[in-house]
Structure 1
Amino acid sequence: MKPLAILASVMVLAVAAPLAHGAIPADPRGGETIQFNVYRGNSSFGTHEVRFSRSGEELTAEISVRLRAGVGPLTVFRYEHDSVERWRGGQLVTLEGETLKDGDRFPVAAARNGSGIVSEGVLPEGERHTEELPRDIIPSSHWRGYEEDLRRILNTEHGDAMEVTITDMGMEQIEADGGTIQARRIRLEGTLTVDLWYDENGFWAGCEFEARGQRIRYVRQANPAA
């Protein structure tokens, strides 16, 4: 897995399985948005947004990531990710997305069938693939949190299954929403180690990891439930 796979990759109803000890899953309402400013070191690196809408029992999350690093007007790194997830009854129904990374495009499409989730995507080497994943697999979009006993998640960048280890690190204060808040820290370990934070309502509140020798940090701009 490439360093930015988890990033982009980062809608479950309250009846979903419990998350890491003491945490609750977010139950977004239509019109709510999670918006982060992203920093590379102390420099602005871009934005990451998750927008929620509802239609009857269906919950939709639209995800948009825009990252750029440059020297003056020269762009040396560009990353864009757009995806749409549709959920019903606490389970993923469909996922469609595309990632643009350093000029290469990686489309992904996943949909529930009778026995599981059929996912199609393009691996980093350019090979197209199709695989059937468990019906209850969770995408790597981060917004809904992760169970501690989780061992695989759906890579929203390439459409394959990623092996992971989830650890609950407990409560702590983080920078968010124009000040500081209490949030639960979850560590997701794969090829890359990512720390994720979730607030008292279960909403994704922060993110931090290292990639290419740089510290990447997400700062949430406002409480979606406010």
Structure 2
Amino acid sequence: MFRSLILAAAAVATCTPLAFGAFEDGPVMPLPDAGERIVFDVYRNGDTRFGTHALSFTQDGQDLLVNIDIELRAGLGPVTVFRYEHQSTERWREGQLVGLVSETLKDGDTYEVSAQSSGEALDVQGMAPEDGPISLELPLSILPSSHWHGYRPGEYDILNTEYGNELDVTVEYLGEEMLEADGERIPARRYRLISDLTVDLWYDENGRWAGCEFEARGQTVRYVRRADPLEG
């Protein structure tokens, strides 16, 4: 379960931010305002809480900065048997990812990723456990695996912010339904991202990321949003 969770955290932390279009076009949101914050409580085995996933949005000149902090822990009594931490900062300019730095602690090992725009490309440096150092030149249109921006249905690559490699994904639109979030049930649009792990993602009527759920070794892991980011 823990290995699958780690894969999902990289994709969870898994198109250009524009106005909300038709449902099938994907939950592509307007750029958030500075000060917006999205916080999820993360549960497994039903109501067993084992961490948080938080995103905060700030302005730096003309750039949007997205700070992401994931902290997950599970244990047997006082003994910690699983620990996952991921911190990253994304820099967006005119709807494109132009910079990224991330650090991930997993199984006692630390992985770092850096990405910087250079002309019409994004130069990425990273490290994968099995493949070693990663050095890629990716298009500026690529999306990171942080999920807040939403995805259009289709088949394409996204940037794995844990290791710095490309992930082949298929995204499907599953329809509109009610979702537990913000201390109530809200209407949300559901999408399925299929890659190393299948992850269901929900976005609210304003396009903000509202929920996440996936299966891992017979257990359901789900994200429950604490509050509407537009209401503070």
TM-score range, shorter chain: over 0.9
Name the counterpart of 1:34: 38
Q: Distance in 1 between matches of 2:23 and 2:67?
A: 22
CA contact (8 A) 1:19 1:146 kept: no
CA contact (8 A) 1:85 1:92 kept: yes
Q: Distance in 2 between matches of 1:178 and 1:16?
A: 24
Total equivalences in the alignment: 225
Residue 221 of structure 1, aligned match among 204, 226, 231? 226
Q: Which runs of 5+ in 2 are unaligned?
A: none
CA contact (8 A) 1:19 1:25 kept: no
Are positions 1:124 and 2:126 aligned together? no
TM-score normalised to structure 1 length: 0.93
Name the counterpart of 2:7: 5
Q: Distance in 2 between matches of 1:26 and 1:197?
A: 16
Higher fraction of helix: 2
Name the counterpart of 1:83: 88
RMSD: 2.0
Are positions 1:137 and 2:123 aligned together? no
Q: Report the Cα offset of residue 203 of structure 1.
A: 0.3
Name the counterpart of 1:14: 18
CA contact (8 A) 2:26 2:150 kept: no
CA contact (8 A) 1:98 1:105 kept: yes
Q: Report the Cα offset of residue 116 of structure 1.
A: 1.2
Q: Distance in 1 between matches of 2:39 and 2:132?
A: 33
Distance 1:16 1:110, change over 3 A: farther
Q: Report the Cα offset of residue 184 of structure 1.
A: 0.4
Name the counterpart of 2:71: 66
CA contact (8 A) 1:13 1:27 kept: yes
CA contact (8 A) 1:137 1:153 kept: yes
Q: Distance in 2 between matches of 1:212 and 1:103?
A: 22
CA contact (8 A) 2:26 2:151 kept: no
Name the counterpart of 1:194: 199
Name the counterpart of 2:183: 178
TM-score normalised to structure 2 length: 0.91
Q: Distance in 1 between matches of 2:175 and 2:38?
A: 22
Distance 1:64 1:22, change over 3 A: closer
Distance 1:166 1:11, change over 3 A: closer
Name the counterpart of 2:101: 96
Q: Report the Cα offset of residue 6 of structure 1.
A: 3.4
Task: Summarize deviations over 1:23-67 as a string: whole Å, max 9, x none.
Answer: 341421111100000001121110000000013321110000000
Query: Taking every aligned residue pair, what percent have the same amino acid on both sides?
Result: 50
CA contact (8 A) 2:27 2:149 kept: no
Q: Distance in 2 between matches of 1:164 and 1:22?
A: 14
Any idea what SS the aligned residue of 1:6 has? helix
The 10-residue stretch of structure 1 (51-60 or 89-98) with the greater mean CA deviation from structure 2: 51-60
Q: Which runs of 5+ in 1 are unaligned?
A: none
Are positions 1:205 and 2:210 aligned together? yes
Any idea what SS the aligned residue of 1:5 has? helix
